[in-house]
Structure 1
């Protein structure tokens, strides 16, 4: 059965003809369930809005660690700790990429989000209270000014942009579910990527669970990026090659190289942990990261603007969702008999 064409139903003992657009029917059914989804999503947004309203803004130095806390402060970062945003090339402290795919049908085209990825470096926020907060933004709900920086993966994409994007995909490939590393070289235009980022010096609003951070530093594990750095380091130095050459054949086989990279990589992480632990203990009062079931929200808008954003989206979903479902249901009821005759 070809869903892309209009189906014709010839009524028995009659010269009349019923035309049923099966593709439209399919999208109407999808719209009905989408309306229900948006309705319930509106309740979640309403809960988020009320949480923002109910939790007062705290100073970092005096906020209650171990509870949900709301703060507002300026992002601070040394120049040598800045990241490069993959698409725009701007120096930043955090970036998030949303990857969409163009889905075509007979009567329409639409962009569908298939994957997201984030940088994994934390950044610091100060509010003038004498202490700072360390923020790991991965998994946070991000409400940002503007629509983000958008690039299409087509033949017009500059080589340096594609190279940075390819590297970001490789560094975060464990996050990807549908977008493959090889897709970064696609030039057909069927993919587009939206970049959101936070810059040093920006004032940000944060609401989430405030941890002391000491356990976080102690539990940090070897990540893939550090593993690759350690692997290159082992291959560069003859003394390290000799150290991990178990069979003493003068070269490292894959198992020996992996063993060496893990050992050296873990030492690199442990050194970072010791330095980070000392810094957390002396300067940082709070650490924010995704912690269920607490809300985790970051925005470079003011709190009032965040509330306006949430109010608008809540109303659209709570009222627009049912309206969409009712409209789709009404259409399906009007053509119900025609659909039965076709099947």
Structure 2
């Protein structure tokens, strides 16, 4: 096997591995979407769940998309620049970002919070357009007199920047597959003894304030009786905090699963359409894998 053949062999093997990995990932998403029952927010079990509801804006109101200026609850964007290398031209990303603000999802039973960090977002609300400035809202720089270079760049080279933006809007139906947790409402209350100990350690971080409060004989230290007073006060504070936790309203949160094998999906496509997409992706990966394997076999045979 000569050097060129060995190089092609390595590339083909790497491509086959990537195709195999992506194919299994698509197939797993398809099976999770079709095999996970839909839960209601009020009664959903704690863990990996599927929820279908409608989007509500977050606590601080709608966001403003950085490229289009449209109001939304979530955005993702890329700004790419067209660069030339010899006879080839390609797009290179110069700026990108996505929002991390929480928004809400509501069904006919309750409302929950959605943390979009780490989510795979699928939506039809995608837009791509082109321009001549690093930002679509940036005015084109005007030059005095005749600028032949600028004229050639604009007329012959076309638009030099590509803008891509993906958005989620209020009131859209959303499909969510992720980690569900309910907090508050008396859930997960810490034991009184544990909470009392945490409060004592918290107070000891500001020892001077502790002395001012409990050093009754002003000897700049806490004796046995004074430490007993500290513990009694910590116990009372622990009871108060537990009562506040008990009275706190229930809050439902959907977020990225801690298990890497479980994808976190947010989509405005309906469940059937989303499953169909991933089904076709997995079929496409299989066909591509067959083609790549044939090329590898052909390479080794000759």
- TM-score surpassing 0.5? yes
Do the aligned partners of 2:115 and 2:253 also contact (CA within 8 Å) in 1? Answer: no
Deviation string for 1:128-183 (max 9, x for gaps)? 11x2111111211111126x222446338543599xxxxxxxxxxxxxxxxxxxxx
Q: Tell me how far apart the structure 2 counterparts of residues 292 and 201 of structure 1 sit (CA, whole Å).
A: 30
Q: How many residues align?
A: 222
| 2:126 corresponds to 1:154 | no
Do the aligned partners of 1:32 and 1:329 also contact (CA within 8 Å) in 2? Answer: no
Secondary structure of the corresponding residue to residue 133 of structure 1:
strand
Unaligned runs of 5+ in 1: 1-21, 163-187, 215-276, 335-343
Structure whose alpha-carbon radius of gyration is higher: 2
1:286 to 253, 272, 295: 253
1:52 to 15, 20, 33: 33
Do the aligned partners of 1:97 and 1:118 also contact (CA within 8 Å) in 2? Answer: yes
The aligned residue for residue 90 of structure 1 is 70
Do the aligned partners of 2:67 and 2:135 also contact (CA within 8 Å) in 1? Answer: no
Q: Tell me how far apart the structure 2 counterparts of residues 126 and 107 of structure 1 sit (CA, whole Å).
A: 53
Greater per-residue helix proportion: 1
TM-score by length of 1: 0.54
Unaligned runs of 5+ in 2: 141-157, 185-243
| 2:42 corresponds to 1:74 | no
Compared CA separation, residues 199 and 138, structure 1 to 2 (3 A): same
Q: What's the Cα RMSD here? A: 3.9
Q: Tell me how far apart the structure 2 counterparts of residues 75 and 24 of structure 1 sit (CA, whole Å).
A: 54
The aligned residue for residue 199 of structure 2 is none
The aligned residue for residue 319 of structure 1 is 287
Q: Tell me how far apart the structure 1 counterparts of residues 97 and 21 of structure 2 sit (CA, whole Å).
A: 26
1:144 to 100, 120, 123: 123
Do the aligned partners of 1:74 and 1:204 also contact (CA within 8 Å) in 2? Answer: yes
Q: Tell me how far apart the structure 2 counterparts of residues 333 and 190 of structure 1 sit (CA, whole Å).
A: 46
Secondary structure of the corresponding residue to residue 285 of structure 1:
strand
Do the aligned partners of 1:103 and 1:111 also contact (CA within 8 Å) in 2? Answer: yes
Deviation string for 1:243-292 (max 9, x for gaps)? xxxxxxxxxxxxxxxxxxxxxxxxxxxxxxxxxx99x9526333323533
User: Which aligned pairs between 1:30-41 and structure 2 lie closer than 5 A?
Assistant: 30=11, 33-41=14-22
The aligned residue for residue 309 of structure 1 is 277
Secondary structure of the corresponding residue to residue 194 of structure 1:
strand
Q: Tell me how far apart the structure 2 counterparts of residues 105 and 35 of structure 1 sit (CA, whole Å).
A: 28
